[in-house]
Amino acid sequence: MNPLYKQSATDVVAMLRSGELSPAEALESAIMRIEEVDSKINALPIRCFERALDVAHKINMRKHRANPRSLCGLPIAVKDYNDVAGVRTTYGSPIYKNNIALCSDVTIQMLEENGANPIAKSNVPEWAGGHTFNPIYGLTRNPWNLSRSAGGSSGGSAAALASGQIWLATGNDLGGSLRTPAAFNAIVGLRPSPGVVPRGQSYQTFDTLWVEGPMGRSVADVALMLDAQCGQRIEDPLSSAHNCRSFQRAVQNPLRPHRIAFSADLGIVPVCKTVRSIVGAAISQFSQLGIDISDEIPDFSGILDSFHTLRGVLLATLKGDLLKKYQGSISSDIVKNIEAGFSVTAEQLVEAEKKRWALSTQMSNFFVHHDFLICPTTSVMPFESNQPFVKEIDGVPCKTYIDWFAITFALTMTGCPVISIPCGFTEDNLPVGLQILGQPHREDELLRFAKFLEDCLGITRRLPIDPKHNI
C-alpha cells in the first residue's frame, strides 16, 4: 500500500470515518511529510502541530461519523489570509508578524465544525499577488521545479498539496489567486460563485470579487472539501445554502456535456505559444469524445480595465486606513494599488459596473446555447522564482505586475464558478492548467464536467510528487 500521504483526501477521510485510521495517526503522517520536504519548498512556514494534536485527541468521532459533510479529523492547511484561533495570521506583512488570531474566521469555523483540523498556515504574498514571497517568510518554491514560482496568492497551499504535505488546503481568489497556483502546481482549485463559501468579516461584506474556495489534488477531493465549506452563515449576508446536497455524490457521476466553447485567449490577453499548444492538444482530445466545441464566446473587451477599477476600489476600502498608518511598511506595489483605488472617479466606477452588468447579460445568453466555457488558466508557464513577476509574454509587455495572469480576471468578472484542472506538461515537465467556467451556483455540474475531463487526461495519478531540483 502507498504511504498515507500519497492517498487521496477522499480515501483518507473514508478511513477516518470507518475507524481504520485515527485523527492522531493522520496528523502524525502529515507532520512527518512536512518535516521531510518543506525545508525545500517553504509552503507551510506557520505550524500549529500542538494545537492540531490537541484537536485530534479531543474530537468526537461518533458525532463526525454521523455527519456526511465531515472531514472526520483530516489535517488541512489554511492560507495565511485566514484566521485560525490561537495561531499567527500575518498576511505576509511585517505589520502583522506577531498577530495572533483570537478566534477562527467564519470560513475556518465552518471547516472546523465539519471535522477539519488545521495543522499549518500556508505562505502568501504580502497582501495580494501572483507570486508567493513576502518579507517575513520569504519565497515558496514550486515542487515541480524548485527554481520556479508556485504562483499566488495561494501558492503555499498549492505547493503543499502537490508535494504531499497535506490532503486539502484553503484558498481564496480575487483575480486568480486560487486558480493560478493550481495551474502552476498541477493541482485542482475551485473558485465558487459568491456566497457559496461563507467569508470572514475581514472582507468587505458585500464585495463579490473575492471568494473563498477549496484546493485539492483531484476534483473528487475538491468536492469533498466543498461539502465541508459551503453553507449559510449569519456573519456573511451573501452566503446561502446550496441546492446540491452532496458534491461528493455529484462527482461520482461525471458529466459529458453537449456543447462547450473554447478560446485560447478570450480575445483580450496574450498567451504564450507553449501554453496555447498544450491546451490546444487537450481540447483536440476532448473533441474526439463527442463534445461539440465552438468558438462563440462572450465579448470581454474592456472588462480588464473594469476589473482594475473595481479591484483598486476594493483594496482602498480594505486597506486604506492601514495605508495612512503604515505606508512605509507596505509593499510599494500594494501601495500603488490602494492609491489607484482612491483616485478612481465616479465616471470610471460607473463605467466599470456597467461593463460588469453587460457581461452578466452576455453570460446568460451564452448559457442558452453552451454548457461551459474553457480557456487556459494562465498565459505563461511557471516562471523563474527570482523574478518578482512576468514582464512580457512572447514579446508583448505587461503594463502592471499582475497583468500576466489577466486571463483569470475576466472570468472573475462574470460571477460564475470557475475550476482549474491540470491539462498537460511542457517538455521540461512544468504543469499547464485549464480553467472551466460554469453557470452561477451550479458548482455540482461544473465539478461533474471537470471530473469527466480529469478522467480523460489522467494527470491526477501523478500526484503527489517529491520536490524536484532545477532542470
**Cα(409)–Cα(375) distance, rounded to whole angstroms?**
12
Which of the following is catalytic: 104, 122, 149, 153? 153
- Residues 447 and 250: beta-carbon distance below 8 Å: yes
Which of the following is catalytic: 29, 79, 355, 379? 79
Write the burial class of residue 471 (CB in 10 Å: 0-12 exposed, 13-18 middle, 19+ buried): exposed
Q: Please report, to the nearest 10 degrees, the dihedral formed by the alpha carbons of residues 320, 322, 325, 326 taken in order.
A: -120
Return the closest-CA partner of residue 18 out of 57, 72, 56, 59. 72
| 385 given a catalytic annotation | no
- Cell triple for 411: 472570468
| 29 given a catalytic annotation | no
Which of the following is catalytic: 154, 177, 193, 306? 177
Q: How far is CA 417 from CA 41, 177, 237, 430, in A?
A: 30, 14, 19, 26
φ, ψ at 184 (rounded to 5°): -65, -25
- Indicate the DSSP class of residue 388: S
Return the closest-CA partner of residue 202 out of 86, 118, 321. 321
Q: Please report, to the nearest 10 degrees, the dihedral formed by the alpha carbons of residues 316, 319, 325, 331 taken in order.
A: -100
| 79 given a catalytic annotation | yes
**Cα(364)–Cα(350) distance, rounded to whole angstroms?**
21
Question: Which residue numbers are catalytic?
Answer: 79, 153, 177
